[in-house]
Amino acid sequence: MYQEHFHLSTHPFGLTPDTRFFHALPAYREALNVLFIALQSGEGFIKITGNVGTGKTLLCRKLLNNLSAPFISAYIPNPHLTPNGLRMAIADELGIQYTVNTAEHQLLKLINTFLIEAAMQGKKPVLIIDEAQAMPIETLEALRLITNLETETQKLLQIVLFGQPELDQLLQNKVIRQLRQRITFSYALKPLSAQNVADYIQHRLRVAGANNPWLFSPWASKAIHYFSRGIPRLVNILAHKALISAYGKGSASVGLKQVYFAALDTEDTKASLRLRQFAKQASLGLFLLIIAYLGVSKMGAYEFN
């Protein structure tokens, strides 16, 4: 739509977790460091949490792409499974052959045999589970039982759980307290700062082939941070809509006004209703001046309730 107008080679603000656009901002760099240190240390369970839209799946894909020998990875993106469904998914990911008539205990034995043989060959299997907050309690317990197999010196299967904060609540259940105690490394992703958002926007524009990475004015970037609350998914949505708005007006860049209207068109900014109420009582120019003032004095600290 606007790619040719802004001289872009691809869509810069898509919502799919495309690792080409991964930007090693401090939070993601720290999370990856935690993951690699924990995996190199041979820890059993590792947990990464973050609110919806904070980039967990992209981080998960980045980890998968960066894992190399001796690690072998298994990835389960939708873990809302029965205990045996989980075992089957693990077997499928690890390339373990079984039939539809394979009994549960036999399937577990096949998995255990695979893990033992992998350890003898110096390999380190890693199971990565996305959206782990969707796992039923009995499936989490089955997951713990799979990790019971270990040698005197190492775990035979390492597990990385990516999930929303609800995962922490789920892990408080007494039924799976043993699993909770086995989580030795964890990291909670936080929203991006105003400077992070500006860097994030410029990085994605560069990857998309922009001749001008400053396509968004400083005020526009500040406003995107303000309305998105530093959540990358909302940053992408607002930036995309702002580009459409600028393109529609034939503008060569994105300013505060385009971001303002993008926020009004996005329900999850949490500010939309109050913005509309305020706009009814003030001129657009006055409103934009006030938003600009907030960008200087309270951006990142002030948030609508």
pLDDT (0 to 100) of residue 298: 42
Sequence-ordered list of residues with C-beta below 8 angstroms from that of 269, at least 6 positions apart, any chain: 227, 228, 229, 234, 238, 263
Model-level pTM?
0.85
Location of structure tokens 């001129």: 283
Sequence-ordered list of residues with C-beta below 8 angstroms from that of 294, at least 6 positions apart, any chain: 226, 302
Q: Tens of pLDDT along 262-278?
A: 988 888 876 555 565 55
Concatenate the DSSP letters of all residues of 246-262 into one string: HHHTT-SSB-HHHHHHH
Same domain (yes/no): 136, 47: yes
Of the three residues 188, 206, 222, the one that is the final residue of a domain is: 188
pLDDT (0 to 100) of residue 230: 93
Three-state secondary structure call for residue 48: strand
Give the type of residue at 101: N
Question: Within a 10 A sphere around the Cβ of 21, how many other Cβ atoms?
Answer: 21
Task: Give 303's pLDDT tier (boundaries 50, 70, 90).
Answer: very low
Examine residue 285 and state whether it is found in any structural domain, yes or no: yes
Task: Give 150's pLDDT tier (boundaries 50, 70, 90).
Answer: confident
What is the total count of domains within the chain?
A: 2
DSSP one-letter code for 152:
S
Q: What is the mean pLDDT of residues 90-94?
A: 95
Q: Tens of pLDDT along 220-268?
A: 998 899 889 899 999 999 999 999 998 888 888 899 889 988 988 888 8
Same domain (yes/no): 221, 103: no
Report the alpha-carbon distance of residue 211 to residue 235 in Å, rounded: 21
Average pLDDT, the chain: 86
Examine residue 6 and state whether it is found in any structural domain, yes or no: no
Give me the residues paired with residue 46 across strands.
160, 185
Sequence-ordered list of residues with C-beta below 8 angstroms from that of 128, at least 6 positions apart, any chain: 60, 63, 64, 73, 74, 75, 76, 159, 160, 162
pLDDT (0 to 100) of residue 154: 75
Distances (CA, A) of 54 to 74, 78, 194, 228, 231: 23, 18, 15, 11, 5
Cα 123 to its chain centre, rounded Å, is: 27
Question: Within a 10 A sphere around the Cβ of 214, how many other Cβ atoms?
Answer: 15
Q: What is the mean pLDDT of residues 164-193?
A: 93
Same domain (yes/no): 175, 197: no
Sequence-ordered list of residues with C-beta below 8 angstroms from that of 279, at least 6 positions apart, any chain: 287
CATH of the domain at 133: 3.40.50.300
Same domain (yes/no): 64, 172: yes
Examine residue 1 and state whether it is found in any structural domain, yes or no: no
Q: What range defines the domain where residue 119 resides?
A: 26-188
Examine residue 5 and state whether it is found in any structural domain, yes or no: no
Report the alpha-carbon distance of residue 31 to residue 35 in Å, rounded: 6
